[in-house]
Structure 1
Amino acid sequence: MSENNPLRDVFDAIADPTRRRLIRLLAEKEEIPLHELTAQFPMGRTAVSKHLTILKEAGLVLDRKVGRETRFRLNASPLREIQDWAAFYSKFWSANMLRLNQLLEEEEE
């Protein structure tokens, strides 16, 4: 799997709240072993591993073996696609806020 050709859509990968929390945890540290990640969730190691696999397929997580331990780290570059998508719609939010501001100013007068 390459970063340019992920096996899974990044939007699909972040759709689950558990996976979003995993991303947040990985963003807070450089690298985290699986057992430390598992301790943060009310589920077993297998369930956390499945979520990490989905994130890996989207290119959001990288892993490496250190002895018998697997360590994970965030690869945030695929999140750029989400940022770009949301940025396109920000003009609508800005326009709506401007209209709301104008309406509120008119009501004050």
Structure 2
Amino acid sequence: MTEAETITTVMRALADPTRRAVFERIANSDEITVAELTRSSNVTQGAISQHVKTLKQAGLVSERPEGRNVYYRAQPAGLEPLADWMSHYGVFWRERFADLRDLLKEIDP
């Protein structure tokens, strides 16, 4: 998968608000099962499983099977392509904030 495809996959995975909430729950846990994710949501277990599958395919979540349970944990490295892409725009914002700071100094020395 090319870098652009990877970024697109991560963005699509996180574009859905329910999936983003599932990812946040996983990220805030050491490990968590689909059953645990379902218990505290208004979403069916099947839907949660589909969201977790999409997150896993995007490289944002890994799994560890243990007996009848599968435990999921966040993979922060999965966010790296998105963070790298966004860092290119950091220069733009730093320049804009510097311009704003200069303008504010001119207005109110």
Fold match, TM over 0.5?
Answer: yes
Q: Which moved more, 1:84-93 or 1:34-43?
A: 34-43
1:44 aligns to 2:53 (yes or no): no
Task: Using the TM superposition, give the Cα deviation of residue 107 of structure 1 relative to its aligned residue in structure 2, in angstroms.
Answer: 0.6
1:64 partner SS: strand
Q: Detail structure 1 runs of 4+ shifted over 3 Å in the superposition.
A: none
TM-score, length of structure 2 as denominator length: 0.85
Q: Which residue of 1 aligns with 2:90?
A: 90
Which amino acid letter does the alignment assign opposite residue 77 of structure 1? A
Distance 1:26 1:92 in 2: 32
Question: What is the RMSD computed on CA atoms of the aligned residues?
Answer: 1.8
Structure 1 residue 64 displacement after superposition: 2.6
Q: Which structure has greater helix proportion?
A: 2
Map 1:1-109 onto structure 2 (within 5 A). 9-109=9-109
Question: What is the CA–CA distance in structure 1 between the aligned matches of 2:91 and 2:17, rounded to whole Å?
Answer: 27
Indicate the percent of aligned positions where both proteins have the same amino acid. 36
Distance in 2 between residues matched to 1:67 and 1:29, nearest whole Å: 20
Task: For residue 77 of structure 1, give the secondary structure of its aligned residue in structure 2.
Answer: helix
Structure 1 residues without counterparts, runs of 5 or longer? none
Whole-angstrom CA distance in 2 between matches of 1:54 and 1:68: 21
Which segments of 5 or more consecutive residues in structure 2 lack a partner in the other structure? Answer: none
TM-score norm. by structure 1 comes to: 0.85
